[in-house]
Amino acid sequence: MVTATPEIRVQNLSIQYGEKVALAGASFEVMPNEIFGIIGPANSGKTSFLKVLNRMDTFTPGMRFSGTAEVGGRDVRSWRNLYALRRRIGVVFPLPVGLPLSVYDNVAFAPRLAGVRGKAELDAIVERCLRRAALWDEVKDRLKALGSLLSGGQQQRLTIARALSQEPSILLLDEFSIAVDPVTTMRIEDVLKELKQEMTIVLVTNLVQQARRLADRTAFFLMGECVSVSPTEALFTGDADPRARDYVEGRFG
């Protein structure tokens, strides 16, 4: 039996902001085409972990990390061309962060940076990504309108479409539904279930039931420590670490 190579591997990963430790000694793997959930109270190191994967520490004064963080078997610190690393990893933040551009240009931005110039090719990329983000039917007649004029839920799906335009192998989502209504949240969840066939997804969420609906496995972060990694359903059936079970059952948070 051939064992798949992990898409993400961290070993003894520690993250600091100055003297403050955000995450200490985390070790786990994320497999290809897996939705990997991360849950836990605020200030547990969840977002900091995502920052390391995409080397956002380069934008964050005082942030540094030690240990190993690998993407596709390669340490993220070995990438001299960070743009190439970030093309491989799409990121969706808690609040929609649109570029001050039209709907079309938001999605075409990354392909243009990668050298795509032909209108027909750009048109195809824009349509494909908007369809994959379940947004095409709602915006196909106003592609030239500013993305900032869309509703909040539409802007979040536009953010997903823009991330997909990079053709990433990994998609990182940090509390994507925090400012999105429940109906749109469910639409995006359906999109993620489909995208799982094409890429690996890391989902940071404060909604434990969302992790239950989507994640194959879930890590529980607590006070800067990765306490456990287990099949998601084990969190809800009593087979996980007691601290993780207490968290999902609402005894603290």
Does some domain include residue 215? yes
Q: What is the domain extent for residue 126? A: 8-248
Q: What is the tens place of the pLDDT at every residue in 176-207?
A: 888 778 888 898 899 899 999 999 999 999 99
CA 83 to chain centre: 17
pLDDT band at 2 (very low <50, low <70, confident <90, very high): very low
* Strand partners for 90: 171
Does some domain include residue 33? yes
Query: What is the total count of domains within the chain?
Result: 1
Any idea what the Cα angle at residue 97 is, between residues 90 and 13, rounded to 5°?
Answer: 45
Does some domain include residue 72? yes
Q: Is pLDDT of 252 > 70?
A: no
Q: What is the tens place of the pLDDT at every residue in 7-44?
A: 999 999 999 999 999 999 999 999 999 999 999 998 99
pLDDT of the residue at 106:
94
Candidates 25, 1, 4; CA nearest to 13 is: 25
Does some domain include residue 128? yes
Percentage with pLDDT > 90 across the chain: 64
Tokens linked to 61: 């004064």
Does some domain include residue 3? no
- Three-state DSSP string of 123-178: HHHHHHHHHHCCCHHHHCCCCCCEHHHCCHHHHHHHHHHHHHCCCCCEEEEECCCC
Q: Mean pLDDT across the stretch 244-250?
A: 84
Q: Mean pLDDT across the stretch 220-226?
A: 94
CATH code at position 203: 3.40.50.300
Does some domain include residue 126? yes
HSE of 229 in the Cβ direction (CA atoms, 13 Å)? 15
| DSSP label at residue 214 | H
Does some domain include residue 243? yes
Q: Is pLDDT of 1 > 50?
A: no
Does some domain include residue 2? no
Q: What is the tens place of the pLDDT at every residue in 102-155?
A: 999 999 999 998 889 899 999 999 999 999 888 999 999 999 999 989 988 889
